[in-house]
Amino acid sequence: MTVVGYSEEHIKTLEWREHIRLRPGMYIGKLGDGSSQDDGIYVLLKEVMDNAVDEFMMCYGKKIDVAINGNEVRVRDYGRGIPLGKVTEVVSKMNTGAKYDSKAFKKSVGLNGVGVKAVNALSSRFIIRSIRDGQIKVSEFAHGLTIKDPPLEPTTEENGVEVIFQPDEALFGNYFYMSEYVDSMLKNYVYLNSGLVINFNGNKFFSKNGLVDLLNENMSKEGLYPIVHLKSDDIEVAFTHGLTYGEDYYSFVNGQNTTQGGTHLIAFKEAFVKTIHNFYKKDYDPADIKTSIIAAISIKVEEPIFESQTKTKLGSKDMGPEGPSVRNFISEFMKKQLDDYLHKNPETARILLQKIQDSEKERKAISSIQKLARDRAKKVSLHNKKLRDCRIHFNTNDPRNLDSTIFITEGDSASGSITKSRNVETQAVFSLRGKPLNSYGLTKKIVYENEEFNLLQSALNVEDGIEDLRYNNVVIATDADVDGMHIRLLLLTFFLQFFPDLVRKGHVYILQTPLFRVRNKKDTRYCYTPEEKAKAIKALGPTPEITRFKGLGEISPDEFQHFIGKDIRLEPVRMKKNDAFNGYLEFYMGKNTPDRQDFIIENLRVEEDLVEEVV
Based on the fold, state whether residues 174 and 229 are members of the same structural domain: no
pLDDT, tens digit, for every residue of 41-62? 998 999 899 889 888 888 898 9
Asked if 289 and 241 sit in the same domain, the reply is: yes
Residue 259 has pLDDT above 90, yes or no: no
Residue 400 pLDDT level (bands cut at 50, 70, 90): very low
Report how far residue 454's alpha carbon sits from residue 602's, in angstroms, rounded to the nearest whole number: 38
Distance CA 54, CA 49 (A): 8
Residue 272 and residue 291: Cα distance in Å, rounded? 12
Q: Has residue 2 been placed in a domain?
A: no
Nearest to 110 by CA among 167, 176, 53: 53
Which amino acid is present at 398?
Answer: D
H runs (alpha helix) in 67-114? 87-92
Closest Cα to residue 301, out of 335, 273, 265? Answer: 265
Question: In the structure, what pLDDT confidence band is assigned to residue 613 with cuts at 50, 70 and 90?
Answer: very low
Do both 432 and 452 map to the same domain? yes
Confidence band for 584, pLDDT divided at 50, 70 and 90: low
Nearest Cα to Cα of residue 296 among 225, 212, 208, 397: 212
Residue 147 sits in the same domain as residue 260 = no
266-306 pLDDT, tens digit per residue, is 999 999 999 999 999 999 999 999 998 999 999 988 877 77
Please indicate, yes or no, whether residues 284 and 192 belong to a single structural domain of this protein: no
Q: For residues 178 and 571, give the distance between their C-alpha atoms in angstroms, rounded to a whole number.
A: 13
Looking at per-residue confidence, does 552 or 192 come out higher? 192
Looking at residue 288, the DSSP 8-state letter turns out to be: H
Whether residues 175 and 323 fall in one domain: no
Per-residue confidence (pLDDT) for residue 607, from 0 to 100: 44
Note the pLDDT of residue 521.
Answer: 86
CB 406 within 8 A of CB 473: yes
- Whichever domain contains 477, its CATH number is 3.40.50.670
Cβ burial 237-272 (10 Å sphere, 16+ → b, else e): bbbbbbebbbbbbbbbbbbbbbbbbbbbbebbbebb
Stretch 414-423: mean pLDDT? 86
Higher-confidence residue of 361 and 273: namely 273
Examine the fold and report which residue of 205, 238, 258 is the final residue of a domain before the chain moves on. Answer: 205
Beta strands in 192-347 (DSSP E): 197-200, 203-205, 228-232, 235-241, 248-253, 256-257, 293-299
The answer to the question of residue 610 being in a domain is no
Q: From residue 556, how far is each of 38, 307, 338, 420, 562 by CA, in Å?
A: 32, 43, 60, 9, 10
Helix (H, G, I), strand (E, B) or coil at 200: strand
Q: Which pLDDT value is given to residue 307?
A: 75
What domain range includes position 282?
Answer: 211-362
Domain count, the chain: 3
| 250 or 555: which leads in pLDDT | 250
Q: What percentage of the chain has pLDDT greater than the value 90?
A: 33
Q: Quote the pLDDT of residue 8.
A: 66
Lowest mean pLDDT among 171-180, 364-373, 407-416, 436-445: 364-373
Last residue of a domain, one of 205, 222, 237: 205
pLDDT of residue 614: 40
Q: pLDDT confidence of 315, banded at 50, 70, 90?
A: confident
Yes or no: say if 413 and 392 are a contact pair by the CB < 8 Å rule: no
Higher pLDDT, 192 or 103: 192
**Each residue of 337-347: pLDDT tens digit?**
999 999 999 99
Of the candidates 313, 316, 329, 197, the one whose C-alpha atom is nearest the C-alpha of residue 249 is: 313
Taking residues 95-99, report their average pLDDT.
Answer: 54
Give residue 97's pLDDT band: very low, low, confident or very high (50, 70, 90): low
Q: What is the mean pLDDT of the chain?
A: 83
What's phi and psi for 214, nearest 5 deg?
-60, -50
β-pairing, 160-167 with 153-154? unpaired
Q: What is the pLDDT of residue 397?
A: 47
What region does 478 belong to: left with phi over 0, alpha with psi -120 to 50, or beta?
beta
Residues 125, 40 within the same domain:
yes
Span 485-505, mean pLDDT?
Answer: 87
pLDDT tens digit string along 519-552? 998 899 888 888 899 999 988 888 889 988 877 8
Look at phi and psi of residue 263 and say left if phi exceeds 0, alpha if psi is from -120 to 50, else beta: alpha
More confident residue, 599 or 517: 517
Are residues 82 and 156 part of one domain? yes
Lowest mean pLDDT among 54-68, 107-121, 129-143, 601-615: 601-615
**Beta-bridge partner residues of 241:** 293
pLDDT higher than threshold 80 for residue 93: no
State the pLDDT at residue 486. 87
pLDDT at 555: 82
Distance of alpha carbon 276 from alpha carbon 236, whole angstroms? 18
CA distances from 298 to 41, 112, 333, 411, 448 (A): 25, 21, 13, 47, 37
Sign of the CA dihedral with 370 first, then 508, 213, and 306 last: positive
Residues 432 and 480 in one domain: yes
Q: Rounded mean pLDDT of 188-211?
A: 92
Average pLDDT over residues 224-234: 92
Residue 371 is predicted with a pLDDT of 63
**pLDDT in the model for residue 608:** 45
Within-domain flag for 561: yes
Angle among Cα 390, 394, 395 to the nearest 5 degrees reads: 160
Classify residue 79: in a domain, yes or no. Answer: yes
Residue 581 falls inside a structural domain: yes
**Same domain, yes or no, for 283 and 353?**
yes
CATH, residue 85? 3.30.565.10
Q: Per-residue pLDDT for 465 more than 60? A: yes
Do 308 and 408 belong together in one domain? no
Q: Enter the pTM of the model.
A: 0.71
**Bridging pattern class, strands 235-241 and 293-299:** antiparallel
pLDDT confidence band for 611 (50 / 70 / 90): very low
Residue 247 is predicted with a pLDDT of: 86
Q: What is the mean pLDDT of residues 463-481?
A: 85
Instruction: Give the burial string for 536-575 (b: 16+ CB within 10 Å, else e).
Output: bbeebeeebeeeebebbbebeeebbbbbbeeebebeebeb
Higher pLDDT, 444 or 420: 420
* CATH number, domain containing residue 256: 3.30.230.10
- Phi, psi for residue 255 in degrees, rounded to 5: 85, -5
Residue 221: pLDDT over 50: yes
Residue 392 lies in a domain: yes
Q: Which amino acid is at 586?
A: E
Q: CA of 268: how far to CAs of 227, 343, 355, in Å?
A: 16, 20, 19
* End-of-domain residue from the set 205, 237, 262: 205
Report if residue 528 sits inside a domain: no
**Stretch among 106-120, 195-209, 223-237, 295-309 having the lowest mean pLDDT:** 106-120
Inside any domain, residue 252: yes
Give pLDDT, residue 68. Answer: 95
Quickly list H helices, 508-593: 530-540, 557-560, 581-589
Whether 181 and 64 share a structural domain: yes
